[in-house]
Amino acid sequence: MWQWCMLYDMAPPIRQPLRELTKDEQMLLQKVAQTRTEAAEVVARAKSLLAVRGGASFAAAARGAGRKSGLGVARLVVRFNREGLEALHTKPGAGHPLIYTVEQRAAVLAEYRRKPDREMDGTGTWSLTTLQRAVRKRPKLEHISRDTISGVMHDAGLTWQRDRTWCETGVSIRKGKHGRRVVVDADAAAKKS
C-alpha cells in the first residue's frame, strides 16, 4: 500500500475531528441545510458538517450531501475548525485571476467604438468574431477570446441586439414621420439589476 501511495503521490488522509459546535452554529447549519434560497454548494457543505457531527464518516457525509469526495469533506472540517461558519462560503478571490488590465479593456471598447471599415475589417457592423479579429491586431491582445470581449462589452453596459450590433443599454433609435430620434430610458440601469 505504501508503494502505491508513493507511486501516485497521494496525500495522506486527514484525520482531524470536527470540533464541538455551539448552539448558534448548530441552529444555523440546520437552517442552511434545509433552505432553498442558498447556493447549492453552501447547502451541501452544511449537510456534510451536520452528517459528520452526527457521527458519519467523511465519505458517508459526502454521499449524503450529494458529493463524491470524502477528502473534500475532511478539508471542509479542517477549514470549519479554523474559520467557523465562514467555511460554508467560497473564499473571495477564488477562480481565475483577471488577466486583462483596465487599459486593455479600454482598448477593446475603443476598437468597438471605431466605425468598421468595410475594406479593412470586412464588415459594416461589428459581430463578436469581426471585433475579435480587429482587437487581436493590437499589442498584448493577440489571444483575447470572444467570451472575454463579450464580458467587456456587458461590463460597459452594452448588449447584443437582434440586428447583430452592439448597442448601449436603454438607448434606442426610433423612426418617425420627421426622421430618426434617439430615445433614452432613464430607468435602464435599475432594470439591469
93 against 134, higher pLDDT: 134
Identify the band that residue 45 occupies on the pLDDT scale cut at 50, 70 and 90.
very high
Mean pLDDT over 124-139 rounds to 89
Q: Kindly report the number of other CB atoms within 10 A of residue 115's CB atom.
A: 9
Domain coordinates in residue numbering, the chain: 2-88, 102-192
Question: Whole-angstrom Cα distance, residue 181 to residue 46?
Answer: 55
What pLDDT was estimated at residue 76?
93
In angstroms, the Cα distances linking 82 to 16, 41, 77, 93, 127 are 11, 19, 9, 19, 50
Question: Whole-angstrom Cα distance, residue 80 to residue 53?
Answer: 12
Question: Whole-angstrom Cα distance, residue 20 to residue 53?
Answer: 8
pTM to 2 decimal places: 0.47
Among 18, 90, 13, 28, smallest CA distance to 49 is for 18
Question: Whole-angstrom Cα distance, residue 12 to residue 167?
Answer: 55
Question: Whole-angstrom Cα distance, residue 68 to residue 61?
Answer: 9
Are 149 and 132 in contact by the 8 Å Cβ rule? The answer is yes
Question: Whole-angstrom Cα distance, residue 72 to residue 87?
Answer: 12
What pLDDT was estimated at residue 11?
53
pLDDT (tens digit, 9 = 90+) per residue, 55-86? 999 999 999 999 888 899 999 999 999 999 99
Question: Whole-angstrom Cα distance, residue 166 to residue 162?
Answer: 9
Mean pLDDT over 102-129 rounds to 88
1 pLDDT above the threshold of 50: no
